[in-house]
Amino acid sequence: MAASRSLPAPGPAWVEHALLLGKRGATVVVNDLIAATAEAVAKAIVDAGGNAIAVPGSVAERSVTDAIVQTTIDKFNRIDILVNNAGIDIAGEFPDVSPEQFSQMLGVHVHGSWNLAQAVWPHMVKQKYGRILIVSSAALYGMPQNSAYTVAKGALFGLSKALSFDGEPHGILVNALGPIANTGMTTEIVTEGPIFDLIEQNYPASAVSPWWRG
């Protein structure tokens, strides 16, 4: 995990997922909207002795998710694990959230997870094995000035439940993770006070990944 220190702190939880999988021997295909970030994480895995490549772009675009999956199949022949952890936050009072902002929120969180899960599905069905982790959030229970984020995370919980039923007959197990973590996005939402102190002191992003036992 020391390789992640070159990235801004607190780092995103998805970085910790990627580093942990790489450390445990998985070949990791890293995606992020920012190419330099995806490449830095892939490099950190490789420098630590693992195997990783970067395929950047927005998962809200089906062409990008198709490219991620096709690149993975072309280079590594199979896909065993999908971790859906793309997310953005657009905070604001409910009446002030524009239709464009709401669509953007659903595009990244919900469409992104849907797109990738649907793209990997035929490959997992063919090999009769797959593990899909959809990262929701404790925010699905509601939080102030974040109605769009709460809706998006609630939709991800519903998606994971639906896919868990559809996937089981094919050897595909689907779980949802609803964490609280000290990430850059969290510190933008909760900037001070006792809740901020609690998260900062007790919920590092690196603690999220070991929760999943897919």
What amino acid positions are annotated as catalytic residues? 149
The three-state secondary structure class of 162 is helix
In angstroms, the CA 39 to CA 173 distance is 29
List, in order, residues 6 or more apart from 75 with CB less than 8 Å away.
53
The DSSP string of 116-155 is HHHHHHHHHHHHT-EEEEEE--GGGG--TTBHHHHHHHHH
CB 55 within 8 A of CB 71: yes
**CB neighbour class for 45 (10 Å; exposed up to 12, middle 13-18, buried from 19):** buried
Tokens representing 143 are 């939080």
